[in-house]
């Protein structure tokens, strides 16, 4: 089934840059992660300025242009650790992705900046939030998945102290 999904626009828009990613070693990943932490700290500092109406996004499904990731690419509806994901395709690959628990409650906002893009000098600024209140943040490496194939970072903003538990399974 050549051409199936993986090459569907706009997900392949940065594919050319992937070549550079192959050469990174994990020290580079570590270095990038430090840069990510700095980046996310400045992101959080901007939270208040980005305050937006969470009323539209608090319950799944969020309004267009958000679309279910499982409808855009071949991924399960519920991803353990991230929940049911929605994204505005125009904002790929960084997002924000909105993560809803099994009851449809917005629980996390997730960003997925590719490491190769960051290394190449691309920054992801003024990204939107699913909700204003953030109780904790997890940052970790991901080798890639349909939708964001390049090795990238998951920056997960949990919107309440129990959110991580609800998204786990």
Partner 1 sequence: MRWTRRWVLLAGGGGLATLAIPRLPGAAATEVIEMRGTPRGERVWFAPLGLAVAPGTTLHFINKDAGNSHTSTAYHPDLYDRPHRIPAGAAPWDSGFLMPGESFEVKLEQPGVYDYYCLPHEMAGMVGRIVVGRPDGAGWEEAGGDAGALPAAALAALPPVEEILAATRIDVERSR
58 near partner 1, rule: CB under 8 A? no
Query: Does 18 interact with partner 1 (rule: CB under 8 A)?
Result: yes
Cross-strand bridge partners of residue 79: 83
Is residue 29 within the footprint of partner 1 (CB under 8 A)?
Answer: yes
Among 58, 61, 89, 144, binds partner 1 (CB under 8 A): 144
CA distances from 155 to 39, 127, 158 (A): 10, 12, 10
Q: Does 80 bind partner 1 (CB under 8 A)?
A: yes
Cα torsion 43, 46, 52, 54: sign: positive
Give residues with Cβ within 8 angstroms of 124, minimum separation 6.
Answer: 39, 94, 111, 113
Interacting stretch for partner 1, rule CB under 8 A, among 60-68, 90-98, 102-110, 142-150?
142-150
If DSSP codes are grouped into helix, strand and coil, which group holds residue 113?
coil
Q: Which of 58, 61, 89, 146 binds partner 1 (CB under 8 A)?
A: 146
Q: How far is the CB of 117 from partner 1 (least distance, A)?
A: 13
| Rg value, the chain, Cα | 15
Residues in contact with partner 1 by CB under 8 A are: 1-2, 4-6, 18-19, 21-23, 26-27, 29-30, 74-76, 79-82, 140-146, 149-151, 154
């Amino acid at each position: 089934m050549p051409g199936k999904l993986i090459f569907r626009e706009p997900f392949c828009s940065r594919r050319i840059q992937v070549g550079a990613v192959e050469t990174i070693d994990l020290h580079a990943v570590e270095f990038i992660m430090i840069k990510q932490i700095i980046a996310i700290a400045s992101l959080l500092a901007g939270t208040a300025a980005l305050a937006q109406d969470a009323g539209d996004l608090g319950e799944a499904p969020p309004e267009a242009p958000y679309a279910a990731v499982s409808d855009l690419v071949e991924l399960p509806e519920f991803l353990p650790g991230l929940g049911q994901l929605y994204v505005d395709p125009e904002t790929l690959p960084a997002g924000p992705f909105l993560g809803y628990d099994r009851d449809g409650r917005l629980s996390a906002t997730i960003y997925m900046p590719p490491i190769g893009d960051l290394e190449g000098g691309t920054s992801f600024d003024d990204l939107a939030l699913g909700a204003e209140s953030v109780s904790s943040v997890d940052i970790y490496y991901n080798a890639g998945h349909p939708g964001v194939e390049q090795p990238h970072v998951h920056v997960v903003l949990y919107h309440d102290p129990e959110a991580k538990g609800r998204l786990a399974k």
